[in-house]
Amino acid sequence: MQIEATPAPTEIFQTPAWVQDAIFYQIFPDRFAQSAIVPKPNNLEAWDAPPTIQGFKGGDLMGVVDHLDYLQDLGVNALYFCPVFQSTANHRYHTHDYYNVDPILGGNAALARLLREAHARGMRVVLDGVFNHASRGFFQFNHILENGGNSPYLDWFTVYQWPLRPYGPGNSKPGYWAWWDDPALPKFNTDTAAVREFLWDVAEHWVREGIDGWRLDVPNEINDDEFWREFRRRVKRANPDAYIVGEIWGDARRWLAGDQFDAVMNYLFTKACLGFFIGPRGIDRSAIAGTGLDPVESLSAEGFAQAIDHLLGMYPWTATLAQLNLLDSHDTARFLSIARNDTSALRLAYLFQMTFPGAPCIYYGDEIGMVGGKNVEDARRGFTWDRGTWDDDLHAYLKCCTALRHANPVLRRGDYTGLGGRNGLYVFVRHLDGDVAIVALNASDTDQQIEVDLPESIGAVSIDSAWSGPVPEVAGRTTRGWTIKARSGDVLLGRTMKRASGESDSNT
């Protein structure tokens, strides 16, 4: 049964305030780090070998605990994990048991330890919730495989043809609804009351165990607004501050009306960044062809300004401040590979990401220059812990950007005004209670000297450089003689003059 979207209730839309201060780091658990504490099975792939579809490298949650110092030093204060529950797939989207962490990852004890250690550092932990489909090994589905039409769990899934073909042969239909007809991923029948209760209970259970939220895998494929409304009610009942972020690749207004998700993975942001910071210099089209990112339009500064203005106008401001703003993920080629290893494009994108409304999300290893193509296995390589292979300049630059965001609430909560774009240059301003940040991004190949006129609503300002660089001349609301180097960005920080003289100034 397909249930169409219905109007949302007229309640006030609130999202977790902590997300506005978060810088996320996405971890693919099998590939980030190993710990000697967690016993390892035999027959693991070599860590540095090219990953394969069915190969395991043996990363675990205690390996993450061992590297929390590294993540904290990077400026990360929130972790988003690809699935951690028991599964026979290295990516663990084939869930066998929703109440137990995979033993290769260290089991429930490792997750409990990770939560304690992360929370002690003020770091949040968000898990991946795969609620659209299970796996062939999921108990209730396996019960059907063993007992056929006699199974009391028959209505947990949708069988349309006997015999079932969970392992083929060839391109034959599996006989049951499966995610994209993949027989390994039988789809839940969420019209069945027992299934709904099971999934809601899983969601509530782990929030009560201490996780800080859920990233929802393909939630649009549970085409039932009331399912997600009740999901929100259950999760927020367990913890009103829990974060609910959905994997929606396009227009997400249906789910961001205040009654379902707090935010989505902001792939529209991703595409705009690819189009502007890389586009004019040549996107590697082979890295995005046929993927969820395709098509990516090459954007001029004017086109980028229009795309960002449109994006900022799509959702309630509370949702915009909670969006998960990413440059790439486990489902895409890495940003550097799409950029043909142009690190200037990634540096520009990092500065924009760290000064834009919403929560930035760093995909593990991007910060040290890891690459990986359209083949998702290639984009899920083992993290390179040999520091001799790192791009130290890129790593240091990202640390400067994360520190800038943490140090300035205006970059996390301030109003946003785009000042337009031309000649490869885009400028915007953030404003919060008298604090002002002016950000200029020069994606062109030439240095540019610019003059910036701030909106009248902000008024005259006094400014300084965020990077300890030269400070341009300021006359009232106008900055003159500000030089932005080619393929780089700059930030000015300041205060409104009337605020500095003791008069009140509120954020409009």
Phi, psi of 81 (to 5 degrees): -105, 135
CA distance 249 to 52: 26
Which residues, 6 or more positions from 88, have their beta carbon under 8 angstroms from its beta carbon? 94, 96, 135, 137
User: Tokens 């029948």 correspond to what residue?
Assistant: 189
Q: Give CA torsion, residues 345, 346, 347, 352, to 10 deg.
A: 90
The count of other CB atoms within 10 Å of the CB of residue 480 is: 13
- Sequential DSSP letters for 191-213: TSHHHHHHHHHHHHHHHHTT--E
Superfamily of domain 413-500: Golgi alpha-mannosidase II (2.60.40.1180)
Q: At what angle do helices 193-208 and 225-238 cross, to 10 degrees?
A: 30
Domain with CATH 3.20.20.80 in the chain: 17-132+194-407
pLDDT tens track of the chain, all 508 residues? 233 333 334 346 899 999 999 999 999 999 999 999 999 999 999 999 999 999 999 999 999 999 999 999 999 999 999 999 999 999 999 999 999 999 999 999 999 999 999 999 999 999 999 999 999 999 999 999 999 999 999 999 999 999 999 998 888 899 999 999 999 999 999 999 999 999 999 999 999 999 999 999 999 999 999 999 999 999 999 999 999 999 999 999 999 999 999 999 999 999 999 999 998 778 999 999 999 999 999 999 999 999 999 999 999 999 999 999 999 999 999 999 999 999 999 999 999 999 999 999 999 999 999 999 999 899 999 999 999 999 999 999 999 999 999 999 999 999 999 999 999 999 999 999 999 999 999 999 999 999 999 999 998 999 999 998 889 999 989 999 999 999 999 999 999 976 444 444 443 3
The first and second tokens of residue 248, run together, are 């929606």
Minimal CA–CA distance to 218: which of 185, 188, 246? 246
CA distance 478 to 168: 68
Length of the chain: 508
Give the pLDDT score at 450.
Answer: 95
Q: Give CA torsion, residues 475, 481, 482, 486, to 10 deg.
A: 160
Active-site annotation holds for 217: yes
Of the candidates 217, 259, 366, 505, the residue annotated as catalytic is 217
Active-site annotation holds for 221: no
- List strand residue ranges (DSSP E) for 42-111, in order: 78-81, 85-87, 95-101
DSSP label at 176? B
Of the candidates 30, 102, 128, 247, the residue annotated as catalytic is 247
The radius of gyration computed from the CA coordinates of the chain, to the nearest angstrom, equals 24
Q: Residues 61, 103: contact at Cβ < 8 Å?
A: no
The CATH number of 133-187 is: 3.90.400.10
Domain 17-132+194-407 is found in CATH 3.20.20.80: yes
The first and second tokens of residue 15, run together, are 């999202």
CA distance 29 to 498: 51
Give the pLDDT score at 500.
Answer: 41
Can you give the three-state secondary structure of 292-346, one letter per residue?
A: CCCCCCCCCHHHHHHHHHHHHCCCCHHHHCCCEEECCCCCCCCHHHHCCCCHHHH
Domain with CATH 3.90.400.10 in the chain: 133-187
